[in-house]
A and B are shown apart, each in its own frame.
Chain A
Amino acid sequence: MPIDRNGAVPETWTRVPGAEAAAAARPLVPFAEIEAALAVVAPGADLGVEVPNTTRYEALAPYLDRIALVSIVFPSFSDGRGFSLARQLRERGYPGRVRAAGPLIADQFPYALACGFDEVDLPEASAVRQPAEQWIAALQVMSSTYQRGYRSGGNILDQRREARRNFAGGRP
């Protein structure tokens, strides 16, 4: 079951081969089969793709306006390529949902959200050891970090800037 910033959420996507995309309400197809999926799904219908973390942004770009979910596969939690791919998607304006699929660990959840992921989809073995509460708790640990421009509610540099502005504004 996927986890987003509010906790566990029901899985609404169904993994199907590209050619069978029309058979599911919200089909999630391998990126390699996207052409086949686009050939069968109704225009405007939700389509998700599962992409290896070696996929380049440029390869995804032509399809992004037809894709409602990009699910980036993490082969292991220690392979951080997915963080950069998600970040590129967001920086370049992708508005859809972005999922991290694989054996991530709860401590990576704040990083994943900051880079632009909306949710993680864990394999059963990880989910059993690390229930949703641990993922939510991991978001509470660091109240702010230093990097600007990431989706981490309020960063230290901007907070300092705000403090400077207030200080200057408070003077006669």
Chain B
Amino acid sequence: MYRYDEFDERFVRERVAQFRSQVARRLDGSLSDDEFRPLRLKNGVYLQLHAYMLRIAVPYGTLSSRQLRQLALIGERYDRGYGHFTTRQNLQFNWPKLKDVPDILDLLADVEMHCIQTSGNCIRNVTADHFAGVAADEVEDPRPTSELIRQWSSLHPEFSYLPRKFKIAVTGAEHDRAAIAAHDIGIRILRHPDTGEVGYRIFVGGGLGRTPMIARLVRDFLPKADLLAYLEAIMRVYNLEGRRDNKYKARVKILVHEVGIEAFRAAVEAEFAKLDGPTVNADPAEMARIAAYFAPPAYETLPATDAAYERARAAEPEFARWADVNLFPHKVPGYAAVTISLKPIGGAPGDATSEQMRAVADLAERHSFDELRVTHRQNLVLPHVRLSDLHAVWKALVAAGLATANEGLITDIIACPGLDYCALATARSIPIAQSISERFGSYERQREIGPLEIKISGCINACGHHHVGHIGILGLEKSGQESYQVTLGGDATEDAALGVLLGPGIRGEEVPDAIERIVDVYLRERQPGEVFIDAVKRLGLAPFKPALAGAAKELADAD
């Protein structure tokens, strides 16, 4: 993985000093609260419901064991012994004190980490496929491109005061695991169909929030060398033309929607043509320098199967059950990628204790070339584990309370922090996730249901990505009580789709019953081998509507 050189090191150290100075100038009155606020946000410090929250960047979701141990230490020393992994592959601490933040930043800088641009109206921490370097359907590892974008977007002089936040995601694979269609800019690395040259396909204007939109194609094929100049052209058009009169209409998706993709593309291409590319783009030697850090680790030459692994599967059904669900095929024979679920039955999605972080760090060090990943589905991944090590890894995960076998299943729920933490929330998210998780906790039942993604947001800002959940749940406040809307048919992959509202809102207590009835309709109607999302796409909403009817009527009567 990427390692800082002397320039990166100095950059983060100076950035910490800069934030200390900003805090000091707020305290001595040089900066007003309004002036300090965006500076604080661009350093990941939010004022939440009960305390400050600190969001730490995990660029493209890649961590080393040393970094995760440092996060564990920070959690223990400055928080309550745990952290929360987010849908943007970041980590949040919910209880730090503002006065401790510069010290935390120093600890992060010690392990080549920072909080730069994890919030605020700027280019946010770039995200990527969590199976980068692992998946067989990959044209190219998306992480070198992501790292180049991380550097280029950090403290950008022109694009640090944008109309609104700006999120970029990169995938190098055919199957989109990075949800690029839900980002302000989505980048897909691909081969040119005629020349075979590797380049980029660029999408723009995706996003969730209160006006969800799927990104549109802006450039079919961009030569790799032109990336930064093209991104500057897009950013400049957005910075100049994006709406600033209404924060709810300020994302680039609204600009693209209002002017139309053709006019937007024309403006970008015109700006790109005027830009002096060679003075802006990274030279090939720089791109090669970054790419070298992501060279494949020293894999052993192994057979595609492993006798000890097969024996362990046969001997311990619990292990086999976990392996059936939480492993992802590795492109190198004899290896697998392991998803460590942070969704224990009845637990808070994405939370990990400092002890658990250390356990995972140990496993990464011992069994996965010292590398791990954070997924946008709020889980962790050990990307390169030998089949013969899987049993030992599983036993260690069991001991750490991290062996829940539910990756991609109905209890692998994405949820925002909701009203339990968040100042913006209108309803609780985590307790809803917990109640659904408990209802469907049985492994056999989850396997029978098959792949099904539930995503829960506690307000219209959609941090829980409910719009692209196969089942999406949105918590709102309606005449003083929580009301939950259910959507069906959302999809965050290359077949991106927004979920459609199933009916009127229901009470929180009714949600598990309603989900159960929806699942019952699916189980009754599905064709052999047909997964939930495909069944919804085939059947439409009609057969599922009655599932909500009873509960919604009750809420209406209570009003």
Q: Which residues of A contact B (CB under 8 A)?
A: 56, 77-81, 83-85, 87-88, 91-92, 105-108, 110-112, 114-115, 129-130, 134, 137, 141-150, 152, 156-157, 159-161, 164
Contact = CB atoms under 8 A, between A and B. Distances in A.
Given A77-B35, A91-B274, A111-B160, A141 B18 contact: yes
A115 B30 contact: no
A160 B289 contact: yes
Contacts of A111: 155, 157-158, 160
Contacts of A129: 29-32
B276 interface: yes
Interface of B: 5, 7-8, 10-11, 14-15, 17-18, 21-22, 25, 29-32, 35, 38-39, 121, 151-152, 154-162, 228, 236, 239-240, 244, 274-276, 279-283, 285-286, 289
B292 to A, nearest CB: 13
Nearest to A110: B157
Contact of A148 (B18, B160, B240, B279): B279
Contacts of B156: 145, 147
B158 A87 contact: yes
A147 B15 CA distance: 16
A30 B497 CA distance: 49
Contacts of A106: 25, 30
Nearest to B31: A105
B38 A78 contact: yes
Nearest to B275: A91
B30 A141 contact: no
Q: B7, B31, B286: which has the most chain A beta carbons within 10 Å?
A: B7
Contacts of A147: 152, 156-158, 280
Contact of B236 (A78, A84, A110, A112): A84
A92 B270 CA distance: 13
A111 B38 CA distance: 15
Given A105-B31, A105-B35, A148-B281, A84 B239 contact: yes
A16 B160 CA distance: 33
A169 to B, nearest CB: 14
A152 to B, nearest CB: 7
A150 B158 contact: yes
Contacts of A105: 31, 35, 39
Contacts of A145: 11, 154-157
Given A80-B160, A145-B155, A147-B157, 7 more contacts: A80-B161, A81-B239, A91-B274, A112-B157, A146-B151, A161-B283, A164-B285
A111 B18 CA distance: 14
B157 A115 contact: yes
17 contacts: A79-B244, A84-B236, A87-B158, A92-B274, A105-B35, A107-B22, A111-B158, A115-B158, A129-B32, A141-B17, A142-B155, A145-B155, A146-B151, A148-B280, A149-B280, A156-B8, A156-B11
Contacts of B289: 160
Contacts of B286: 157, 160-161
Nearest to A130: B30
Contacts of A83: 157-159, 161, 239
A134 B30 contact: yes
A150 B158 CA distance: 9
A107 B157 contact: no
Nearest to A140: B14
A144 B11 CA distance: 7
Contacts of B31: 105, 129-130
Given A141-B18, A142-B11, A150 B157 contact: yes
B168 to A, nearest CB: 15
B7 A85 contact: no
A43 B389 CA distance: 82
A146 B214 CA distance: 31
A150 B282 CA distance: 13
A164 B240 CA distance: 37
Contacts of A152: 157
Given A146-B154, A160-B286, A84 B240 contact: yes
B162 A80 contact: yes
A5 B161 CA distance: 21
Nearest to A144: B7
A84 B15 contact: no
A122 to B, nearest CB: 12
A142 B152 contact: no
Contact of A156 (B30, B151, B274): B151
A92 B286 CA distance: 27
Residue of B18, B158, B274 with most partner-chain A CB within 10 A: B158
A110 to B, nearest CB: 7
Find the residue from B38, B276, B286, B289 having the highest chain A CB count within 10 A.
B286
Pick the most buried of B25, B161, B244: most chain A CB atoms within 10 A of its CB: B161
A148 B14 contact: no
Contacts of B160: 80, 111
B14 A143 contact: yes
A98 B159 CA distance: 18
Given A85-B240, A144-B7, A149 B157 contact: no
A160 to B, nearest CB: 6
Contacts of B7: 144, 156, 159-160
Contacts of B151: 146, 156-157
A143 B384 CA distance: 38
B30 A84 contact: no
Contacts of A110: 157
